[in-house]
Amino acid sequence: MIVAAASELFAARGYRGASVEAIARRSGISPPVVYEHFPSKVELYRELLERHFAELRAVWSRNLAGDDPLAERIARSCDAWFAYVEAHPFAARVLFRDGAGDPEIEPVHREVAERSKAAVMRLFVAEPGAENVAGPADAEGLEMAWVVLRGVLQGLAVWWSEHPAVPRERVVAMAMNSLWIGLERVHRGDVWAPSSR
């Protein structure tokens, strides 16, 4: 399976470091066969990203749906998120260890990130109480909230992929402590303000 081998190698060595030759060899084939399945290296990379992103998004939206209190849904989603990371360590590293900085794949990442942002922001907006975070039509504030969310989840995911001995519950608890408690409080209008300095 080419995409599996590619995931592992991209995760381990980065986009530049993983040569098409190496990917082919690990798949038990030779480079030209790769080019019969994908038009170019960067397209192979894009395909890979798309797949992982789609799976992750499915996990996320499946768990966020429902009528339970938001706290439970978020906790469930976090848990499912890290379960996915646990089951697909390469996916997480390819998706999150950025790859920004490389001009060739940066547009690909940006595109996927854009769609993820749109998806999350729709959820934020649909949630009652969201206006306390950002104000009713405040796209900037929502975007920053997404940036924070992403920063925390990505950071923990990458860190965890390098410390697999830590039990998942701990990582989930840390994510919830960092995100939910702060967000919940903000949700109630209990914001930190510069004037309090």
d(CA 120, CA 138) in angstroms, rounded, equals 15
107 binds DNA (CB under 7 A): no
42 binds DNA (CB under 7 A): yes
- Of 103, 101, 93, the residue nearest 9 (C-alpha): 93
d(CA 91, CA 10) in angstroms, rounded, equals 9
Instruction: Give the interface segment with DNA, choosing from 17-25, 70-78, 90-98, 114-122 (CB under 7 A).
Output: 17-25
d(CA 168, CA 100) in angstroms, rounded, equals 27
Instruction: Give the interface segment with DNA, choosing from 33-41, 57-65, 92-100, 140-148 (CB under 7 A).
Output: 33-41
Number of amino acids touching DNA (CB under 7 A): 18
180 binds DNA (CB under 7 A): no
Q: Report angle CA 138, 140, 143 to the nearest 5 degrees.
A: 115
Q: Which residues bind a second copy (CB under 8 A)?
A: 13-17, 71-72, 75-76, 97-104, 106, 140-141, 143-145, 147-148, 150-156, 158-159, 163, 166, 169-182, 185-186, 190-194, 196-197
